[in-house]
Structure 1
Amino acid sequence: MPRYETPRFLKNLGTTYTPPEQVDMNKPNIARVYSYYLGGKDHFEVDREMANYAAEIVPGVNELAMGNRAFIQRAVRYLAMERGVRQFLDVGSGLPTEANVHEVAHEATDDARVLYVDNDPIVLAHARALLAGDARTGVINADLRRPQEILTAPETRDLLDFNQPVGLILGGILHHLADEDDPERLTRELADALAPGSFLAISHFARPDHRSHPEEHDRALNLEAAFLKKLGTGRWRTPEEILAYFCGWKPVEPGMVPLQDWRPLPDAARVAGTYRMSPTTRLLIFGGVAKKP
């Protein structure tokens, strides 16, 4: 069995960790692949093989993970500081990293409440260790493909008030749903449960138009083939398809754009979210934020 090293953030908490028995360390896992791309240590050899395979197909693919993280950090800070959002529901949260959603939200206000949702046992174990004793933040085991499990979970109802605005974060998760999962319907089911004045932040792998951006279009198709072959998930959808996931809510300026272009921060900014993607990957992931009327 592959050797597992306790992650640094757990060591800093004085906690040791053994992976849950149900974890299959012989198959790549998207949360651990992302951890590798983000410079984390929460991955096994099979995950690194998958990540490196995709990087050989399209050099710079790790920038998608880094750009996605930076976008989420900027979106959460914007919602907490400029729009007064005090509740966040982060579905498909992935493994803890630096400047997580709750940490960014708490920069704005100590009373922000954050619920993380994931169905990966390693993600859940790490998050629970990190969040132990924090009454403002929680984590539940649930699947986006079953929205009612998320909405009706006791932990959800205890932590979040759906009569007040919520910031729903779907960062880098919808592109891991197949078309037959109907991600538009799943997103709408979650969004419909939220109060007016809520916000929806989405980031998604994008497939640019082949006529205006032929090279980027081919990169997207090559990456999709690599992800489907090794992971079994990963869809690079058109900007028009991604826009449909916003449920017709009013977009926040600058709308749905390449993540790089969504309220970028100056290089000198001393906050999380300043990472800039290269021109070769910029058009391969889109996103934005919209407000519920």
Structure 2
Amino acid sequence: MERKHVDLSLPSAARMYDWLLGGSNNYEVDRAACELLLEVAPTSRELALNNRWFLQRVVRVLAEEHGIKQFIDFGSGLPTQRNVHQIAQEADPASRVVYVDNDPVVLALGQSLLDENDNTTILPVDMTDTDTIFGHPDFTRLIDLTRPVAALFVSVLHCLPDSAGPKALVDRVIDKLVPGSFVVVCQLVSDDRKVRDDVTELMQTQTGGHWGRVREKADVEETFERLLVEEPGLVDVTDWRPDSELQQRQRSVEWTEFGGLGKVRSRERTPGDGGRGLPDESPRE
């Protein structure tokens, strides 16, 4: 894999997230940016931790309750404890996971951890470049698109500007998935316009424009228009099927991760079907 140059003069969202989770794969520039972020949104560390626990819970549910054995993690970020492949392969060692990220530090660390796992890989591709992703040899080696797949967009679409078409990206992925597949989406949102504007401005400035914006709940809801939303619906991810241990965790206040789990329909909505589509016709394991 070709190694890209790491620009240490700019923070990256992936390394900032790593620092907020208590990781060590970050630099002084990332830590300084996080300190600025905490001045604007003091509970950002709680937000990051709650989001990570949500990722672990939803992968476990997909693997254990829905029998999903193929996962695509878009904008996967830096590897940390309890990654997608670890949870999925606990449920079934044959589970296959494709991570997608083009951050050079993510690629270097991720590939070194995955080299010994034949059922897992990381693609050095921009997550919006779906043609390259779905046509990549490592993707086609691991993922069978005639079988159900889980596509994960966890805490990543807010990194895309509106011009990159976050909803269009999700729709392109849905188009590739068979009925019975699942899509996970959560994004940073806030009901407070000042928080949205202040955090967006800070992240845009700190990352040199490599960021999107803090959005509203309606923006997240739009990404589920073609999906059947699973219980408990679209919520602050802290409330998405929390484990008893997590119920006592501190919540973020200024902003939240909002989203949930959606199932790919057997067909598009038509007038008179109540938006439910036809019964699933996906192949069964």
TM range (shorter): 0.7 to 0.9
Q: Matched residues in 2 for 1:276 and 1:251: separation?
A: 25
Residue of structure 2 in register with 1:219 after alignment: 195
Amino acid at match of 2:200: E
Q: Matched residues in 1 for 2:189 and 2:137: separation?
A: 35
Match of 2:82 among 80, 99, 121: 99
Q: Matched residues in 1 for 2:107 and 2:223: separation?
A: 26
Q: Matched residues in 1 for 2:188 and 2:24: separation?
A: 24
**Deviation (angstroms), 1:107:** 1.9
> Does structure 2 retain, via aligned residues, the 8 Å contact 1:67–1:275?
no
Q: Matched residues in 1 for 2:131 and 2:247: separation?
A: 35
Summarize the alignment of residues 109-258 of structure 1 with structure 2, pairs less than 5 Å apart.
Answer: 109-208=92-191, 216-231=192-207, 232=209, 233-258=211-236
Q: Matched residues in 2 for 1:131 and 1:23: separation?
A: 20
Question: Could you state the TM-score of these two structures normalised by the residue count of structure 1?
Answer: 0.85
Residue of structure 2 in register with 1:6 after alignment: none
Amino acid at match of 2:80: T
Amino acid at match of 1:102: H
Question: Could you state the TM-score of these two structures normalised by the residue count of structure 2?
Answer: 0.87
> Does structure 1 retain, via aligned residues, the 8 Å contact 2:44–2:252?
no
**Deviation (angstroms), 1:226:** 1.8
> Does structure 1 retain, via aligned residues, the 8 Å contact 2:155–2:257?
no
> Does structure 2 retain, via aligned residues, the 8 Å contact 1:260–1:277?
no
Residues 3-26 of structure 1 deviation map (CA, whole Å, 9 limit, x = unaligned)? xxxxxxxxxxxxxxxxx5611111
Q: Is 1:261 matched up with 2:239?
A: yes
Residue of structure 1 in register with 2:263 after alignment: 291
Q: Matched residues in 2 for 1:100 and 1:25: separation?
A: 25
Q: Structure 2: where are the runs of 5+ without partners?
A: 266-285
* % same residue: 36
**Deviation (angstroms), 1:245:** 1.3
Amino acid at match of 2:120: T
Amino acid at match of 2:153: L
Give the root-mean-square deviation of aligned CA atoms.
Answer: 1.6
Q: Matched residues in 2 for 1:21 and 1:204: separation?
A: 27
Aligned residues: 261
Comparing 191-200 with 55-64, greater Cα deviation is found at 55-64
Secondary structure, counterpart of 1:43 in structure 2? coil
Match of 1:51 among 22, 25, 34: 34
Residue of structure 1 in register with 2:253 after alignment: 280
Q: Is 1:77 matched up with 2:50?
A: no
Q: Matched residues in 1 for 2:26 and 2:101: separation?
A: 17
CA distance 1:223–1:185, shift in 2 (3 Å):
same
Q: Matched residues in 1 for 2:140 and 2:80: separation?
A: 26
Comparing 233-242 with 148-157, greater Cα deviation is found at 233-242
Secondary structure, counterpart of 1:219 in structure 2? helix
CA distance 1:185–1:59, shift in 2 (3 Å):
same
Q: Structure 1: where are the runs of 5+ without partners?
A: 1-19, 209-215, 268-272
